[in-house]
Structure 1
């Protein structure tokens, strides 16, 4: 069985400029240029979180035509007034079709994707929304020996903790177990009946916290 690991975290924003400013305020560093996803009508910025792990800031690319399908990560629901937020996460696997087939939740169709000279496979639900009330991952499979994090500068950021909150934590645990992703996230019942994600990131300026609740909390080191 091919296990899954966290590949990257996804911050959605109404524009890359707004997303970049959010990351600068939240983490104290500027993300690097990424590129465009022509088949999704989006573009991104990237920031290393260590070996084979990174943060993606993604927004709709106004220079590209709208795709003939819903955009990924629920991005068609963004408006100019939307706030940047930790909207989803992506789990890396060496066998995406096997992992998707085992998944206790429908994670979408395995879809070829491209950005510049990078090519990969990723699961995308037909409605473009994030499954399991917004906390399930997309699955991704990179070609052997290829990963975009290898191209990113190390700014001293590291993912310390990743947390998933859901009204039915056992359902989330079943999903993680079914794709062999145990131990990569802390799962807990939400206190208010909603679903959310949070990430604690170590930076040169101390620990910082990102949330799908659009809140930035500066923690003491």
Structure 2
């Protein structure tokens, strides 16, 4: 069953994303790495033994890839509109070791299997919908299969942040719950009714309980 791997703040620039996390959590996120295959880069924050937070943005120093970027980052108009509306935590990634089997049933929702290397072997795999959009307009998770690559958590410093709760607001909660059941997501976000699609994460930090949105 796909299970939560990491949360994603999708930012107009990396500096914007890091400043937002700093303002919400009072933590300075360490730099992560560049993604040569995607023309993006990130910062990463450990949130427990098996989950972390990512801030991701296009990398202005990287060449534009020949294919669509992930997380809808080619559509900077939408990225900025969501950012200005306060919807900044806009994506999440579920991990699996059976991507082919999952996509055979749900590829029309989650996208097509894409091999990535991040400049080093062995490769890993990410499911990307046509045009690089977020799966199900951001309601469904993106899917990752790291193959033989070790998870990045072991290399992340522990700054004392822990994810306690992760929730989504949506005008049709029953539809979202049915979607997560269809995708067989293990421990999906809590689902609440709201006027628009909006994620919130409650995170315990050295400065107390904080909310990331």
Report the TM-score, using the length of structure 1 for normalisation: 0.85
Deviations 1:86-128 (A, max 9, x none): 1200001121121223338611101112324373211111121
Task: Find the counterpart in structure 2 of residue 181 from structure 1.
Answer: 185
* Counterpart Cα distance in 1 of 2:18 and 2:172: 33
Task: Find the counterpart in structure 2 of residue 198 from structure 1.
Answer: 200
- Paired residues, number: 207
The RMSD of aligned alpha carbons is: 2.1
* Counterpart Cα distance in 1 of 2:64 and 2:149: 32
In structure 2, stretches of 5+ residues that fail to align are: none
Task: Find the counterpart in structure 2 of residue 117 from structure 1.
Answer: 120
SS at match of 2:45: strand
SS at match of 1:64: coil
Deviations 1:41-99 (A, max 9, x none): 11111111111211111111111111222221111222696638112000011211212
Q: Counterparts of 1:32-47 in structure 2 under 5 Å?
A: 32-47=30-45
SS at match of 2:158: coil
Of 92, 96, 99, the match for 1:89: 92
Higher mean displacement: 46-55 or 125-134: 125-134
1:98 and 2:96 aligned: no
Of 124, 127, 130, the match for 2:131: 127
The Cα of 1:143 is off from its aligned counterpart by 2.5
* Counterpart Cα distance in 2 of 1:50 and 1:30: 17
In structure 1, stretches of 5+ residues that fail to align are: 212-221
Task: Find the counterpart in structure 1 of residue 62 from structure 2.
Answer: 64
Report the TM-score, using the length of structure 2 for normalisation: 0.88
Q: Is the 8 A contact 2:96 2:144 kept in 1?
A: yes
